[in-house]
């Protein structure tokens, strides 16, 4: 148990409404004790020690992974649960066609019943946190109440937690209230027995209330379901705040690109999951003299600065990265970031208490303990063998440990954005890169983002495009048609010549035989170079029916990409694009009904007319 005498308590808090809220929740949930998270290293260590002593986690090898631990979750609690995530707006229309909706009055009644007595036998932790650098004009403050020490220590890495946040709140400052419980009360004398506590799937709720700016989460202790500063606040609630206050809260990485002359530009990028977002954020360039540094790998908040440009902050303080597939080849910088002071979840454990996962770049060093706690021996001939690490296993690592972290990553004013990238996993049709002609054309490109479904996805025809507009499908806190309109309004609020240029990239083109046309990874720096040159006004470009594209010789080709490959990568596939138009017109845009901005319907008509003109 955390030694409460050593730390600040809720009685020391001067914010009257915060204290009142904490007392109300304590009366409802009936915890055995209340502890205020003060953000100190001493408190972090005590919480970790408590988890180790209770068998909830394993301390890793101090030489190989200093000051790091491994947790294994319950098999029912391994990822965000989309079907149990709700936008409880006043009406279904306000939540929109892409969100799960429940009436907020009905949902609060259900959840209040579940919360009643749910923290019995547990400690309630109160976590004051800042999303974004402390005191930044772009940052927002929140307070999470939870009964999970796992959540507290993850929040201490992922956000700025503690006394300084309370100082910023003062006696009456605004905060987003975030309530969380694992949903498993303990009877007198009962313990978790070293097992991950959570509720059955039907009692898991991750609820956002956009009108009242509240987050209520119950039954899951994992990731974005429980670390409420992340997707719940930083995207679902923040997207609503951004709509009302005239800024953008986006599922985007932020990186800094510096050319050989020492000039830097900042780029944001939005990709659906499994499209290489973290790898791009921490990319190691293959072009001599060019440098890429990380500002953020997952979320960007953008507001206009005094000079009329859009400035972005990374509201997070850490990385909650997917472990499988992370290797020295795919993302050396992420491995270094997670080499110490890191929380691992659902990866495999080696005999000498190091971690291993599929795609780490080397074979398992002997028998392992898999994420279920069972012995696991690598069988290279058995393709059906269950993985040792869960496919969504994670590392939680401090961002300041990343060797390529940009010096500006905590600048409270943010960084000026020169370019915004959208992209998806598309083996055909979509070229390597093209640029929007203007802001609204860029919004159109963001609205049609998608990835092709593979044959491995059951019950969906292979080749079907699964649309994920702006990579925000699971994270937009209101009607997505209105969200498109908000992007258009943000563009109108700025000067056209100061707005970021918008691009669509696709690293995933294949030949008809299934061969990759583009090597990706560090070679994506060659595309970033052309994007940088577009921002400088020096790029070699050609106007096409789909937008502005590089000439065939505009991008420095890697040695293993032939001129023919390059022509294929930069070809406008007119027939393929006409099918794309038909899919958008028939299957995608109709979902948004009257909420679809007229500007986007016009963009689609223009694209179709351009393609038909090119065909004739």
* Residues classed as catalytic: 275
Residue 514 has phi, psi (to 5 degrees) of 90, 10
**124, 34 contact by CB (below 8 A):** yes
Helices (H), 396-544: 439-447, 480-492, 525-536
Beta strands per DSSP E along 37-154: 57-59, 69-71, 85-87, 123-131, 140-146
Name the pairing type of β-strands 214-218 and 205-209.
antiparallel
Angle at the Cα of 503 from the Cα atoms of 500 and 509, rounded to 5 degrees = 160
Give the whole-angstrom CA distance, residue 605 versus residue 582. Answer: 11
Map residue 505 onto helix, strand or coil: strand
In contact, 334 and 295? CB cutoff 8 Å: no
- DSSP secondary structure letter of residue 20: H
Instruction: Show the CA angle centred on residue 528, arms to residues 525 and 532, nearest 5°.
Output: 135
246: left (phi over 0), alpha (psi -120 to 50) or beta: left
CB neighbour list of residue 561: distance below 8 Å, 6 or more residues apart: 517, 518, 519, 569
Chain centroid to CA 429: 27
User: Residue written as tokens 């058995």?
Assistant: 382
Alpha carbon dihedral 390, 395, 396, 402, in 10-degree steps, equals -160
């Amino acid at each position: 148990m955390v030694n409460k005498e050593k730390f600040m308590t809720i009685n020391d808090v001067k914010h009257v409404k915060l204290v009142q809220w904490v007392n109300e929740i304590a009366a409802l949930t009936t915890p055995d004790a209340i502890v205020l998270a003060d953000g100190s290293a001493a408190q972090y260590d005590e919480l970790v020690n408590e988890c180790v002593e209770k068998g909830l986690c394993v301390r890793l090898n101090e030489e190989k992974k200093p000051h790091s631990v491994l947790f294994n979750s319950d098999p029912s609690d391994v990822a965000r649960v989309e079907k149990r995530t709700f936008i409880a707006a006043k009406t279904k229309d306000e939540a929109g066609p892409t969100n799960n909706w429940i009436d907020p009055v009905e949902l609060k009644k259900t959840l209040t019943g579940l919360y009643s007595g749910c923290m019995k036998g547990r400690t309630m932790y109160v976590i004051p946190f800042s999303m974004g650098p402390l005191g930044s004009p772009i940052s927002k403050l929140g307070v999470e109440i939870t009964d999970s020490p796992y959540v507290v220590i993850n929040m201490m890495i992922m956000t700025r937690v503690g006394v300084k946040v309370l100082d910023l709140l003062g006696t009456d400052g605004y905060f987003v209230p975030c309530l969380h419980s694992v949903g498993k009360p303990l009877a007198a004398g009962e313990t978790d027995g070293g097992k991950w506590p959570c509720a059955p799937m039907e009692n898991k709720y991750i609820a956002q209330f956009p009108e009242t700016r509240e987050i209520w989460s119950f039954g899951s202790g994992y990731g974005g379901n429980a670390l409420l500063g992340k997707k719940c606040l930083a995207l679902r609630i923040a997207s609503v705040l951004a709509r009302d206050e005239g800024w953008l809260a986006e599922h985007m990485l932020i990186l800094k690109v510096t050319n050989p002359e020492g000039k830097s530009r900042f780029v944001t990028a939005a990709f659906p999951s499994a499209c290489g977002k973290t790898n791009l954020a921490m990319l190691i360039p293959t072009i001599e003299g060019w440098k890429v540094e990380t500002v953020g790998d997952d979320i960007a908040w953008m507001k206009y600065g005094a000079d009329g440009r859009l400035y972005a902050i990374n509201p997070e303080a850490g990385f909650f990265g997917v472990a499988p597939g992370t290797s020295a080849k795919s993302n050396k910088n992420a491995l270094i970031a997670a080499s110490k002071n890191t929380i691992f979840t659902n990866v495999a454990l080696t005999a000498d208490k190091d971690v291993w996962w599929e795609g780490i770049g080397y074979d398992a060093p002997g028998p392992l303990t898999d994420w279920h706690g069972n012995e696991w021996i690598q069988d290279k001939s058995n393709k059906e063998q269950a993985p040792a690490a869960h496919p969504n296993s994670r590392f939680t690592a401090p961002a300041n440990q990343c060797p390529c972290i940009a010096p500006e990553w905590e600048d409270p004013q943010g960084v000026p954005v020169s370019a915004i990238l959208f992209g998806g996993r598309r083996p055909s049709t979509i070229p390597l890169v093209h640029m929007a002609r203007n802001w609204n054309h860029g919004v159109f490109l963001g609205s049609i983002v998608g990835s092709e479904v593979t044959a491995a996805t059951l019950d969906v025809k292979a080749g079907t495009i699964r649309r994920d507009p702006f990579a925000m499908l699971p994270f937009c806190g209101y009607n997505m048609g209105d969200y498109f309109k908000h992007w258009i309004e943000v563009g109108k609020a700025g000067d056209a010549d100061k707005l970021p240029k918008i691009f669509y990239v696709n690293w995933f083109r294949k030949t008809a035989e299934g061969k990759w046309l583009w090597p990706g990874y560090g070679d994506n720096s060659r595309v970033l170079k052309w994007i940088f040159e577009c921002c400088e006004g020096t790029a070699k470009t050609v106007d096409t029916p789909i937008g502005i594209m590089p000439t065939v010789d505009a991008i420095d080709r890697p040695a293993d990409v032939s001129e023919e490959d390059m022509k294929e990568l930069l070809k406008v596939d007119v027939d393929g694009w006409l099918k794309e138009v038909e899919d958008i017109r028939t299957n995608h845009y109709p979902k948004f009904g009257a909420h679809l901005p007229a500007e986007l319907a016009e963009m689609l008509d223009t694209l179709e007319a351009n393609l038909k003109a090119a065909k004739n």
